[in-house]
Amino acid sequence: MSSTVYVAGVGVISAIGNNVAENLAAFEREEAGMTEITLIDTKLHGIVPVAEVKLNNAELAAMAGFSSQQSRTTLLSLIAAREALNDAEIDNLSSLRTGFVSANTVGGMDKSENFFIEFTKNNSKGKLRDVFDHECGSMTETVADVLGITDYMTTISTACSSSANAVFYAARLIKNDMLDVVVAGGADSLTKFTLNGFNTLMILDKEFCKPFDDNRDGLNLGEGAGYVVLVSEKVAKTLSKPMYGKLSGYNNSNDAYHQTASSPDGTGSYLAMQGALKKSGLQPADIDYINLHGTGTPNNDSAEGTAIKRLFGPHYPPMSSTKSFTGHTLGASGGVEAVFAVLAIKNGLIYPNLRFETPMKELPFTPEKHFLKGQKIDHVLSNSFGFGGNCTSLIFSAS
């Protein structure tokens, strides 16, 4: 059994950059990725902003070196997972037990929507290839095949906690000596289905989102992919490149309060963070930075903030929501933000909470407003809380 699980590689694509370096540069410029909708033909164009990856499907396919017939989710997943695997620089990967644990919530829905536009007009029309890979697991299988990962693969879909759950499930596979290396995280693309669904819930902000601001009015949907390469202690010792850190704590809880809302007292959020701290052997005072779930909705931020107040008060570490840059990438958010968490440790960074102005009346703390470098960051708590009360917290620590 591996006592420690290390992070050997990272990869990310989001609205603020097509790789790790571009994302970090956007953070330092304090430049958000939200724009008007450009890639989807929708009635919400010009009404709500989104955080799109700044490449169309043909451009993504060229970047991935793969077929443009693939779904956007698949292409995003492949780009970020490949970057993470290349970054890990594991020369003898074929001789190791390697897995791919990937999350998403929309699968190939972007292609399916295109199919039904034609099919509903004339049921002899529409390209069946557009619905062939509709289900979420197809993304995982396709990307694993391209990466040459054949030992183990699985898909996790638990709404907005999906890829955080993928990361800690991957860690458990390594800890229990079932695998040596796992590429873990997730991807999601923007679709009409998610845009219309969140609009129906009336939680989309018509302006750029303001997480943890007293005047917040909702979230901005985003898209992207983020993956970490987790390795066992044995494998880590064979690699010449320094590790980014280790996954020291993780926990999943479920408050079972409501299908789409968090419990007002933040029960699920509190239990997730408390359990992750217990797993890591750390105290609240040991956490140097919190990557907030921080969607910008009134309910979600209030619930998370109440849980943080209960667990960390009266001494609060710096915290911020990187969704103020990337938008809410749904099933990808836990993976994207896991990458940001380990980069914060490696580079001594605290990310800003853009557009924050007015403190929430019920909370005694405020998020960080500016990009900070040269910080001593040993332990980062990253929160990902999903529909149905599925709440997950990860803790990454310096090696």
- Give the catalytic positions in this structure: 160, 293, 328
Residue 323's SS3 state is helix
Delimit the domains of the chain by residue range.
5-236, 248-397
∠ CA 63-147-6 to the nearest 5 degrees?
A: 105
Residue type, 119: F
For the cut 90, the answer to whether the pLDDT of residue 55 exceeds it is: yes
For the cut 80, the answer to whether the pLDDT of residue 259 exceeds it is: no
CATH architecture group of domain 5-236: 3-Layer(aba) Sandwich (3.40)
**What is the arithmetic mean of pLDDT over 151-176?**
97
* Domains 5-236 and 248-397 belong to one CATH topology: yes
> How many Cβ atoms sit within 10 Å of the Cβ of residue 199?
17
CATH architecture group of domain 248-397: 3-Layer(aba) Sandwich (3.40)
pLDDT band at 130 (very low <50, low <70, confident <90, very high): confident
Residue-wise pLDDT for 316-367, tens only, equals 999 999 999 999 999 999 999 999 999 999 999 999 999 999 999 999 999 9
The fraction of the chain above a pLDDT of 70, given in percent, is 98
Residue-wise pLDDT for 84-98, tens only, equals 999 999 999 999 999
**How many angstroms separate the CA atoms of 379 and 377, rounded?**
6
- 237 Cβ contact partners less than 8 Å away, ≥ 6 residues apart: none
**What is the arithmetic mean of pLDDT over 260-270?**
81
Residue-wise pLDDT for 192-206, tens only, equals 999 999 999 999 999
Of 159, 153, 207, 178, residue with least CA distance to 327: 207
Of 107-111, 213-217, 385-389, least confident by mean pLDDT is 385-389
- 352 Cβ contact partners less than 8 Å away, ≥ 6 residues apart: 27, 30, 320, 324, 368, 369, 370, 371, 372
**How many angstroms separate the CA atoms of 50 and 56, rounded?**
15
The fraction of the chain above a pLDDT of 90, given in percent, is 87
What is the 3 state secondary structure string of 35-97? ECCCCCCCCCCCCCCEECCCCCHHHHHHHHCCCCCCCHHHHHHHHHHHHHHHHHCCCCHHHCC
